[in-house]
Amino acid sequence: MKKRKKLELHTKIVIGLILGIVFGSIFSLSTTKLEIVSGGGEKEIKDWQEIIYFKKDSVVKSFDANSQIGIIKYFKNSKDKKDLLVEVKYPSGNSEKFEAITSIEKVKTIGMALKPIGDIFIRLLNMIAVPLVLASLIVGAASLSDLKHIAKIGGKTIGFYAITALIAISMGLLLANIIQPGSFMPPETKDRLLETFQDDAKTRIDQNVSLNIVDFLVNIVPKNPFAAITEGNFLQIVLFAILTGIFLTQIPTEKSKTVINFFDGVSETMIKLVEKIMLIAPYAVFTLIAATVAEFGFNILQTLLLYSLTVILGLALITFFEYPLLLKAFTKIKIKDFFKTQRPVIAVAFSTSSSAATLPVTMDVCEKKLGVPNKIASFVLPLGTTINMDGTALYQAVAAMFIAQVYGFDLSFTQQLTIVLTASLAAIGTAPVPGIGLIMLIIVLQSIGVPEEGIALIIGVDRLLDMCRTVPNVIADSLACVVIANSEGELKKIDTTDLA
């Protein structure tokens, strides 16, 4: 009897992703239902015409049928919840009242119930990321043997990352200028978005990010590397690890050998661990995507469709046009083979929205599939994960232009050049975890004098765009890895055996 061919892991992950989208869409959260927990118990309401909040018999706020998020957020953000009364009016003319309310939420579906499996998966990958960056960069820098070699590879890496970031930002600016996504937003939509998301925006703005190049540089130096490790401050960890790696080559071998072997062992263990963690990836990706799709407010996507499409178009252009061109120009790897190796990387990046969580997978793929030697992969990839964020940079350029357009600012050429500079720095400063690109966008807005509260306009679709922008963020790291390995004559043959 012929043995049935077992599905490869990457195929299973892609299937998990697609099924997750389907499952999430079927069991998506309804935008016309709410669960109100009040003195009278739990009650599901649906298809309301108007929902009115009262305080001491006077109306404080009313919402129409399309304002599910606004209704929830208003309750969440109001300070004296116990004084709030809610009246729900239905199109039939009936109405009901609720008092002593403790929560108003969307009605959960099974699409979200499985999410803890996905959360465990992300936590496991994040658990690995910090020790992996530290250990592999120390070993990577140490195994590049001498300072000159490190400077050469480091220079090439940073040069490559800088050029691709500039291309990404320019692409973002070009598209935002041509498409003008912010010029078509009706003022009522603008007001509604600003009102609904103003508190979310405030939480981000309160983090007080600002651009001072001197402070930025000073802060890259950790006062205490162990604090940097516990806080997951990747830039500081990277600096500490590279310096440690470099100076390990400057002390007698009998001493450095033990340290290098130790970190080499740590790094290999982490990679081994990730291979095992990846066995649950298909299921985890399924649950993560299902929950995100189920939870995502698709009517917000409609409102911000042009903006979202502009970002996604830009991301697609750099991923499927620029990167293949660079791959062709600098290596002999077939474009098709390269992208096939990237399938697990793309699926994990897309479902976790985190370059750091994806790093262990990227490393595994670059070494085992793309034939990049460990000493190059372990230097270029952790560095890239931390500083190379083409997708984020492009997104920040488009988002800044979009917000400026909605507010009616006509950005001059010099202001757009400022975006190029600040978005490059903001992307470097963006930690490789979900949602930070949006916070760093505040720096870009400040630099061109656009109100930072404007991020409220785009928060509603940020999760979706975060998933999308993380994909080029990680693919560019793999690309840099093969380009640099090839330029050093160190690229082994790509393993195409199981690239169906």
Q: Which is nearer to ligand ASP, 24 or 437 (CB)?
A: 437
Q: Which is nearer to ligand ASP, 303 or 470 (CB)?
A: 470
Neighbouring residues of 25: CB distance < 8 A, sequence distance ≥ 6:
293, 294
Burial of 489 (0-12, 13-18, 19+ CB in 10 A): exposed
Other C-beta atoms closer than 10 Å to the C-beta of 32 total 12
Neighbouring residues of 361: CB distance < 8 A, sequence distance ≥ 6:
125, 274, 278, 344, 345, 348
28 contributes a contact to ligand ASP by CB under 6 A:
no
Q: What amino acid occupies position 107?
A: V
**Pattern of binders to ligand ASP over 221-240, x per CB under 6 A?**
--------------------
Q: Return d(Cα 194, Cα 199) in angstroms, integer.
A: 9
Q: Return d(Cα 61, Cα 55) in angstroms, integer.
A: 9
Q: Which helix (H) or strand (E) holds 170?
A: helix 147-179
- Exposure string (b/e) for 156-177, b if CB count within 10 Å is 16 or more? bbeebbeebbbbbbbbbbebbe
Q: What's the CA dihedral at 266, 272, 274, 276 to 10 degrees?
A: -140
Candidates 292, 416, 470, 486; binder of ligand ASP (CB under 6 A) is: 470
204 contributes a contact to ligand ASP by CB under 6 A:
no
Q: Return d(Cα 361, Cα 313) in angstroms, integer.
A: 26
436 contributes a contact to ligand ASP by CB under 6 A:
yes
Q: With H, G, I as helix, E, B as strand and everything else as coil, classify residue 185.
A: coil
Q: Which stretch binds ligand ASP (CB under 6 A): 76-84, 137-145, 170-178, 469-477?
A: 469-477
CB 446, min distance to ligand ASP, A: 18
Q: What amino acid occupies position 325?
A: L
Q: Return d(Cα 201, Cα 438) in angstroms, integer.
A: 10
Other C-beta atoms closer than 10 Å to the C-beta of 5 total 7
343 contributes a contact to ligand ASP by CB under 6 A:
no
Q: Are 30 and 107 in contact (CB under 8 A)?
A: yes
433 contributes a contact to ligand ASP by CB under 6 A:
yes
Residue whose entry in the numeric block shows the structure tokens 């970190």: 263
CB 81, min distance to ligand ASP, A: 32
**Pattern of binders to ligand ASP over 471-500, x per CB under 6 A?**
--x---------------------------
Neighbouring residues of 209: CB distance < 8 A, sequence distance ≥ 6:
429, 439, 440, 442, 443
Q: Which stretch binds ligand ASP (CB under 6 A): 7-15, 150-158, 160-168, 348-356?
A: 348-356
CB 391, min distance to ligand ASP, A: 7
Q: Are 118 and 284 in contact (CB under 8 A)?
A: yes
Q: Which of residues 384-423 bind ligand ASP (CB under 6 A)?
A: 389, 392
Q: Which is nearer to ligand ASP, 34 or 357 (CB)?
A: 357
181 contributes a contact to ligand ASP by CB under 6 A:
no
The residue count for binding ligand ASP (CB under 6 A) is: 16
Candidates 353, 362, 374, 378; binder of ligand ASP (CB under 6 A) is: 353
CB 385, min distance to ligand ASP, A: 8
Q: Which is nearer to ligand ASP, 118 or 434 (CB)?
A: 434
444 contributes a contact to ligand ASP by CB under 6 A:
no
469 contributes a contact to ligand ASP by CB under 6 A:
yes
Q: Which residue is nearest to ligand ASP (CB)?
A: 437
Q: Which is nearer to ligand ASP, 277 or 491 (CB)?
A: 277
Q: Which stretch binds ligand ASP (CB under 6 A): 233-241, 402-410, 463-471, 479-487?
A: 463-471
Q: Which is nearer to ligand ASP, 196 or 473 (CB)?
A: 473
Q: Which is nearer to ligand ASP, 267 or 392 (CB)?
A: 392
354 contributes a contact to ligand ASP by CB under 6 A:
yes
437 contributes a contact to ligand ASP by CB under 6 A:
yes
Q: Are 122 and 357 in contact (CB under 8 A)?
A: yes
424 contributes a contact to ligand ASP by CB under 6 A:
no
Q: What's the CA dihedral at 139, 141, 144, 146 to 10 degrees?
A: -120
Q: Which is nearer to ligand ASP, 375 or 469 (CB)?
A: 469
CB 118, min distance to ligand ASP, A: 16
Q: Which helix (H) or strand (E) holds 67?
A: none
Q: Which residues bind ligand ASP (CB under 6 A)?
A: 353-355, 389, 392, 430, 432-437, 466, 469-470, 473
